[in-house]
């Protein structure tokens, strides 16, 4: 018995050591404890609880209940009369990164926005002010297969880009259908894809090429041939997509194209897809549900180009009622600041319950990003990502008061100074504080100038 | 304005190399003795009033007393200070800007390596031009050795260590192919165009080179049954990098670029030096833990002077009133912004001191910024807490060690290359001037320039320059003639420059310098780009001749004749 205990102890110590070693190479994520007292707690997965406390300890939700005690040194927030909900998650944005499109190649899965994180971006802080604790920093829609995206936690205040990454979040990648890749590559350069047919063919040829690449490596690794294939990060990444290691998020509008991509994925055995924008998703909601595809949509934004005219504000509700996991996203640095209003609009049109409307910006985007076990609801053991609202979040009078990430209050409407910039250009003529105010959609950012002469909203 | 700019812009089409003869040292002997000199042998080690003997480019004696060779030229240093010749740890010295037009790429997704800026196989020695003015420029600042790398996008080429004197590039190269220069700069219009493309390409090329190297080596051992490895110059050039025998000097001025470089390095495992670092203070601990060699930039922002300081000295009641009025008008928000900006500036200037405090040895790179500001910027860093010893080490022993040339450079010791810099006072005295620079035993002497003369009774000019002059610039474009009107204004002159046919669009220059009979001034033209035009004209009674320097396009002859006398 005693020996067994010792062995168990040794095992535990060994595991701890291994964890420490694994951790050494990584960025240290700052975490804290905070007690939020007496709020109306909107758990999302377990109903609303009035006059309830939420205790976050060392970055994780430790308990939800009444009369909880704060650990030593923990911050205490009096949420009496306020609403406590999970941090809002935006499944489609482009904030906090220095590059959005590597528009020079129509197939560019090897590039990753995670390589270009800019923790100093003021848009991150402004998103916190809108209660958003996690966003999906996506590649743009210039390419049929764009770059890998990064799920980032809005740990605004940290200087290390690696610390912005949500550790353990699955890899994701951007695909794009329709007019954007056709315009950038077809019209812009007179190369494929010039048409929607061309886009389908690119997916098929890319997957076929990746299959071939995987086979070559298998032959080499098994000793069948002594000649190693040339390493190709592009094909490596495509092979990872086909192996199901990367979740696809595809820019899409038209129903026919959505069906097309599902057919292609079916042919190559690829699952795990979220259709982004998905304005005509309502036309193919049963098919999406049958495939297990998700949809991340706007509440009521459309008509900014030809393929986006056939749209409806009932989209989110129709998709949801057909069993499609649906979220509302921003794709915009301004909209990200009031995603709770966007959810409320979908409720207004589609007659959703309060809880279903709030799912659109919490647990559902979490599912789409593969992080629903960590965030998206207030449950013990989940990450301490919380937003405290004055007035109900679906009310037009809702205003976030505190936004908490990993137990750290990253936004406090009353206490923080006006100038929250971290990195200040010593040569700036004008304070950069005033920059970034002008809102331009970033979905086609970094696409070469000559393609942007006809500037318009180009999601 | 517009016409002027177009005129200069035309030069693109007629690009002419900027070939100028650099001053050659007048060598009558290969032996020198420097006597009565305070010798700073290396940082922190000094011989007061000693002597140095140089023979055939080598230091042969150093000490309180030396044997004077029969053929030696004696330089009586008269208690000057002599330091080891400075070593520039990284710059583009001697490599002319690449202005060749890049071939158009039909498919921007599949450019040639050259168009993509991936040329690790390009040797600095092949680009080096002994005639480049930058060589002389750096030498005049006290440098004897430079580690040069080409300019470019993500992999501009390999570095070479050069001696800053020689008639040809062959004479100058000490060691070729010593390093790989790396940046995160995209190619703009072709793949990789952005930071995400560049970082993906770094990983792709590196991992491919690792596999290709193994493949190539096993093929060399035994080719039987193995497919022949592809021959690719760029991939081959990366073999010593993946084999860890060649270090990557990664250009990382900003904090974000340092983070990105550290991440890439830990993912791939190459040997890396961080260079042109401007914002490293925040990550000192991590740099230290990883033991990365560090090259700090000499390019630092200027500290902003306070309004009161500017007015100091002028004690009139009017000035006081002005200051008081300004105080009333201050916008607290703007003041808060200014304060934050000043703090940021102070952090940039204090970077070197912070590295010294953390015990990290560093060198200086002169990759960006104006090398001319070296002394001024060093003094600012010293004021911010950097010790003179550490500053000198960053210019001598540290880069020598980093570049693997400690056995021949970095200190004044017998057997080392005779690279020296001699100043009238301690180099770190604000008013010190460089009197001699020795590069591999070749002596370059600097005499005091005549002081800037002001117009008036003490005017040393033998000719009157004011009046109207016609001028012709020998530049390969049609609009090359016009009128130059020189008018006296207060202590100096105002020059009004017009092009023929464009009289209604003059360029008016107020900051004019006149030394003896040479007038020099400059102005900027803007047309999509900013270019500085500098004119240097030598006047006689009725004519002048001189040069016009048009940005980086080149320097061209300019002549003129008097067409009207001054009004008085």
* Length reported for chain A: 459
Residue A2, domain member (yes or no): no
User: What's the domain range around A285?
Assistant: 87-373+437-451
**Closest-CA residue in chain A for B278?**
A426
Nearest by CB to residue A102, choosing from B194, B255, B263, is B194
CA B309, B313, B318, B322: dihedral to nearest 10 degrees? Answer: 0
Interchain CB distance below 8 Å, B211 and A228: yes
Query: Does 2.40.128.120 match the CATH number of domain B2-18+452-564?
Result: yes
Instruction: Report chain A's C-alpha Rg in angstroms.
Output: 23
Interface of B with A in 173-232 (CB under 8 A): 188-197, 199-200, 203-204, 207-208, 210-212, 214-215, 218, 225-227, 230
In a domain, A111, yes or no: yes
Domain annotation covers residue A225: yes
Residues of B in contact with A433 (CB under 8 A): 337
**Residues of B in Cβ contact (< 8 Å) with A118:** 256
- Residue B404 CA to chain centroid, in angstroms? 22
Is A410 among the domain residues? no
B357 touches A: beta carbon within 8 Å: no
Specify whether the CB–CB gap between B47 and B89 falls below 8 A: no
d(CA B131, CA B298): 25
Contact between chains at A424 and B266 (C-beta distance less than 8 A): no
CA dist., res. B123 & res. B181, Å (int): 11
Write the pLDDT tens digit of every residue in B70-112. 999 999 988 899 999 999 999 999 998 877 777 777 789 999 9
Please report, for residues A71, A272, B288, B375, the alpha-carbon distance to residue A253 in angstroms, rounded to integers and kept in the order given: 50, 18, 51, 61
- Domain assignment present for A429: no
- When scoring B111, B185, B191, B197 by the number of chain A Cβ atoms within 10 A, the one with the most, hence best to mutate, is B197
Chain B CB contacts of A161 below 8 Å: 256, 259-260, 263
The token duo for A252 is 């899409």
> Which chain A residues are closer than 8 Å to B189 by Cβ?
104, 448
Q: Would you say residue A431 lies in a domain?
A: no
* Min distance A138 CA to chain B CA atoms (Å): 12
CB contact under 8 A, A111 and B196: yes
B70: tokens are 């029969």
Three-state secondary structure readout of B508-519: EECCCEEECCEE
3-state secondary structure of A181: helix
B343–chain A Cβ distance below 8 A for any pair: yes
Distances from the Cα of B441 to the Cα of A429, B58, B254, B400, B427, angstroms: 47, 6, 39, 18, 20
Contact B195 A225 (CB under 8 A): no
Identify the residue among A27, A234, A426, A442 best suited for mutation to test binding to B, counting B beta carbons within 10 A and taking the highest.
Answer: A426
Q: Is B31-85+410-440 CATH 2.30.40.10?
A: yes
Asked whether residue A387 is assigned to any structural domain, the reply reads: no
Task: Please state, as a whole number, how many other Cβ atoms lie within 10 Å of the Cβ of residue B302.
Answer: 13
Q: Is B369 on the interface with A (CB under 8 A)?
A: no
Contacts of A394-402 with CB under 8 Å at 24 or more apart are: A394/A340, A394/A343, A394/A344, A394/A347, A394/A354, A394/A357, A394/A358, A395/A344, A396/A341, A396/A344, A398/A83, A398/A340, A398/A341, A400/A129, A400/A130, A400/A131, A401/A82, A402/A36, A402/A77
The reply to whether B290 touches chain A by the CB within 8 Å rule is no
Nearest CA in chain B to A432: B337
In this complex, do B225 and A426 lie within 8 Å of one another by their Cβ atoms?
Answer: no
Q: Per residue of chain B (568 residues), give pLDDT as tens.
A: 455 655 665 554 444 333 333 344 555 578 999 999 999 999 999 999 999 999 999 999 999 999 999 999 999 988 899 999 999 999 999 998 877 777 777 789 999 999 999 999 999 999 999 999 999 999 999 999 999 999 999 999 999 999 999 999 999 999 999 999 999 999 888 999 999 999 999 999 999 999 999 999 999 999 999 999 999 999 999 999 999 999 999 999 999 999 999 999 999 999 999 999 999 999 999 999 999 999 999 999 998 776 555 555 555 566 666 666 666 678 888 888 899 999 999 999 999 999 999 999 999 999 988 899 999 999 999 999 999 999 999 999 999 999 999 999 999 999 999 999 999 999 999 999 999 999 999 999 998 766 554 444 445 556 778 888 889 887 766 668 888 888 887 777 888 888 887 777 788 888 788 877 888 888 887 655 677 888 888 888 888 888 888 777 777 888 888 888 765 4
Give the phi and the psi of residue B425 in degrees, each rounded to 5: -120, -175
> A98 to chain B: which residues are within 8 Å by CB?
195, 256
Total number of domains constituting chain A: 1
Question: From the list A120, A231, A426, which residue is nearest B341 (CB)?
Answer: A426
Query: What is the ipTM score, two decimals?
Result: 0.91
**Of residues B396, B398, B364, the one with CA closest to residue B381:** B364
pLDDT (tens digit per residue) in B115-151? 999 999 999 999 999 999 999 999 999 999 999 999 9
Tell me the shortest Cα–Cα distance from B290 to chain A, in angstroms. Answer: 11
Question: Domain-by-domain residue ranges, chain B?
Answer: 2-18+452-564, 31-85+410-440, 89-100+120-178
Smallest Cβ–Cβ distance between A115 and the set B190, B199, B208 belongs to B199
Ordered mean pLDDT values, 10 residues apiece, chain A (459 residues): 50 49 58 97 98 98 97 95 98 97 96 98 97 98 97 97 97 97 91 95 98 97 94 98 97 98 97 97 98 98 95 98 98 96 97 97 98 98 98 98 98 94 87 57 62 47
For residue A27, give every residue at least 6 positions away whose Cβ sits within 8 Å of its Cβ, in sequence order, or none.
A160, A162, A163
Is A63 part of a structural domain of the chain?
Answer: no
Round to whole Å and give the CA distance between B309 and B284. Answer: 34
CA A54 – CA A79 distance, rounded (Å) = 10
In this complex, the residue of B192, B260, B340 whose CB is nearest that of residue A424 is: B340
- Is residue A341 within 8 A of residue A399, CB to CB? The reply is no
A307 Cα to chain B: minimum distance (Å): 26
SS3 labels along A396-442: CCCEEEEEEECCEEEEECCCCCCCCCCCCCCCCCCCHHHCCCCCCCC
Chain B positions in Cβ-Cβ contact with residue A422 (cut-off 8 Å) = none
pLDDT at residue B308 in the model: 52
Shortest Cα–Cα distance, B338 to chain A (Å):
8
Q: Which chain A residue lies closest to B336 (C-alpha atoms)?
A: A419
Per-residue pLDDT reduced to its tens digit, B171-198: 999 999 999 999 999 988 899 999 999 9
* H-state helical runs in B101-194: 113-116, 124-127, 133-140, 169-172
Residue B451: the pLDDT is 55
Give the CATH number, domain containing residue A259: 3.20.20.140
Q: A–B: how many Cβ contacts below 8 A?
A: 132
CA dist list (Å): B369 to A62, B365, B427 = 53, 10, 21
If you compute the radius of gyration of chain B from its CA atoms, what whole number of angstroms results? 27
Chain B neighbors of A23, CB-CB under 8 A: none
CB contact under 8 A, B259 and A162: yes
- Smallest CA–CA distance from B202 into chain A, residue: A233
């Amino acid at each position: 018995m005693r020996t067994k205990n010792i062995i168990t102890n040794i095992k535990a110590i060994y595991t701890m050591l291994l964890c420490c070693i694994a951790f050494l190479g990584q960025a240290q994520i700052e975490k804290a404890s905070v007690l939020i007292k007496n709020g109306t707690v909107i758990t999302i997965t377990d109903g609303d609880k009035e006059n309830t406390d939420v205790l976050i300890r060392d970055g994780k939700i430790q308990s939800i209940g009444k009369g909880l005690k704060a650990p030593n040194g923990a911050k205490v927030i009096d949420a009496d009369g306020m609403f406590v909900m999970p941090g809002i998650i935006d499944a489609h944005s482009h904030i906090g990164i220095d590059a959005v499109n590597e528009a020079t190649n129509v197939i560019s899965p090897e590039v990753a926005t995670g390589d270009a994180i800019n923790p100093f971006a003021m848009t991150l802080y402004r998103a916190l002010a809108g209660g958003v604790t996690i966003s999906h920093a996506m590649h743009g829609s210039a390419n049929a297969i764009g770059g890998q995206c990064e799920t980032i936690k809005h740990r605004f205040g940290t200087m290390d880009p690696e610390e912005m990454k949500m550790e353990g979040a699955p890899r994701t990648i951007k695909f794009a259908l329709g007019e954007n890749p056709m315009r950038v590559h077809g019209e812009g350069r007179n190369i494929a894809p010039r048409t929607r047919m061309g886009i389908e063919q690119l997916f098929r040829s890319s997957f076929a090429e990746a299959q071939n690449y995987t086979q070559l490596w298998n032959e080499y690794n098994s000793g069948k041939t002594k000649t190693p294939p040339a390493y190709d990060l592009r094909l490596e990444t495509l092979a990872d997509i086909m192996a199901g290691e990367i979740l696809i998020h595809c820019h899409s509008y038209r129903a026919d194209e959505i069906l097309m991509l599902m057919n292609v994925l079916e042919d190559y055995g690829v699952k795990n897809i979220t259709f982004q924008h998905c304005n005509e998703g309502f036309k193919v909601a049963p098919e999406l549900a049958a495939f297990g595809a998700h949809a991340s949509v706007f509440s009521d934004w459309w008509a900014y180009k030809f393929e986006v005219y056939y749209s409806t504000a009932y989209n989110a509700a129709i998709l949801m009622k057909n069993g499609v996991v649906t979220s509302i996203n921003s794709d915009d640095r301004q909209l990200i600041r009031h995603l709770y209003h966007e959810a409320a609009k979908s409720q207004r049109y589609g007659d959703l319950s309060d809880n279903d409307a709030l799912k659109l910006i919490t647990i559902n985007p979490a599912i789409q990003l593969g992080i629903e076990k960590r965030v998206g609801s207030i449950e013990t053991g989940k990450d301490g990502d919380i937003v405290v609202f004055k007035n109900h979040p679906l009310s037009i009078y809702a205003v976030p008061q505190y936004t908490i990430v990993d137990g750290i209050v990253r936004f406090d409407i009353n206490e923080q100074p006006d100038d929250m910039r971290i990195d200040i250009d010593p040569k700036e003529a004008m304070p950069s504080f005033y920059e970034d105010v002008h809102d331009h959609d970033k979905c086609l950012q970094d696409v070469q100038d000559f393609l942007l002469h006809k500037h318009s909203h180009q999601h | 304005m517009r016409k002027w700019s177009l005129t200069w812009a035309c030069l693109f089409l007629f690009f002419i190399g900027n070939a100028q003869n650099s001053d050659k040292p007048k060598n009558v002997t290969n032996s020198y003795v420097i006597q009565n000199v305070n010798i700073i042998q290396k940082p922190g080690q000094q011989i007061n009033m000693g002597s140095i003997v140089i023979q055939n480019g080598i230091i042969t004696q150093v000490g309180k007393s030396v044997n004077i060779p029969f053929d030696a030229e004696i330089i009586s240093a008269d208690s000057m200070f002599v330091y080891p010749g400075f070593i520039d740890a990284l710059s583009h010295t001697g490599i002319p800007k690449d202005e060749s037009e890049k071939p158009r790429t039909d498919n921007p997704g599949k450019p040639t390596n050259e168009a993509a800026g991936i040329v690790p196989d390009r040797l600095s020695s092949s680009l080096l031009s002994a005639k480049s003015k930058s060589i002389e420029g750096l030498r005049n600042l006290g440098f004897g050795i430079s580690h040069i790398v080409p300019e470019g996008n993500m992999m501009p080429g390999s570095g070479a260590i050069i001696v800053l004197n020689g008639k040809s590039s062959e004479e100058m190269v000490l060691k070729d192919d010593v390093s790989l220069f790396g940046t995160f700069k995209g190619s703009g219009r072709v793949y990789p165009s952005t930071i995400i493309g560049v970082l993906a390409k770094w990983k792709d090329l590196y991992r491919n080179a690792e596999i290709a190297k193994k493949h190539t080596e096993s093929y060399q051992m035994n080719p039987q049954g193995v497919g022949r490895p592809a021959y690719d110059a760029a991939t081959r050039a990366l073999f010593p990098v993946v084999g860890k025998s060649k270090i990557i000097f990664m250009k990382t001025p900003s904090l974000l670029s340092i983070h990105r470089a550290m991440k890439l390095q830990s993912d791939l495992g190459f040997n890396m030096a961080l260079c042109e670092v401007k914002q490293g203070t925040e990550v000192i601990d991590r740099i230290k833990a990883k033991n990365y060699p560090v090259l700090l930039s000499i390019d630092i922002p200027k500290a902003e002077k306070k309004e009161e300081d500017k007015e100091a000295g002028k004690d009139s009641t009017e000035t006081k009133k002005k200051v008081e009025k300004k105080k009333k008008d201050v916008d607290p928000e703007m003041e808060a912004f200014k304060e934050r900006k000043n703090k940021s500036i102070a952090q940039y200037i204090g970077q070197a001191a912070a590295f010294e405090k953390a015990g990290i040895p560093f060198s200086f790179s002169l990759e960006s910024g104006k090398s001319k500001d070296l002394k001024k910027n060093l003094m600012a860093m010293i004021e911010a807490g950097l010790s003179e010893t550490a500053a000198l080490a960053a210019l001598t022993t540290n880069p020598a060690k980093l570049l693997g040339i400690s056995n021949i450079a970095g200190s004044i010791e017998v057997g080392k290359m005779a690279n020296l810099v001699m100043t009238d006072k301690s180099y770190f005295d604000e008013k010190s001037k460089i009197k001699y620079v020795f590069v591999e035993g070749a002596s370059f002497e600097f005499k005091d320039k005549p002081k800037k003369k002001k117009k008036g009774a003490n005017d040393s000019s033998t000719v009157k320059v004011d009046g109207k002059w016609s001028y012709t610039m020998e530049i390969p474009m049609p609009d090359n003639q016009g009128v130059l009107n020189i008018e006296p204004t207060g202590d100096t002159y105002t020059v009004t420059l017009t092009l023929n046919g464009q009289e209604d669009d003059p360029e008016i220059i107020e900051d004019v310098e006149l030394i003896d009979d040479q007038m020099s001034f400059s102005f900027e033209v803007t047309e999509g780009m900013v270019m500085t035009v500098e004119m240097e004209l030598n006047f006689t009674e009725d004519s002048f001749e001189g040069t016009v320097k048009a940005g980086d396009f080149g320097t061209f002859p300019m002549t003129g004749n008097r067409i009207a006398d001054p009004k008085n």
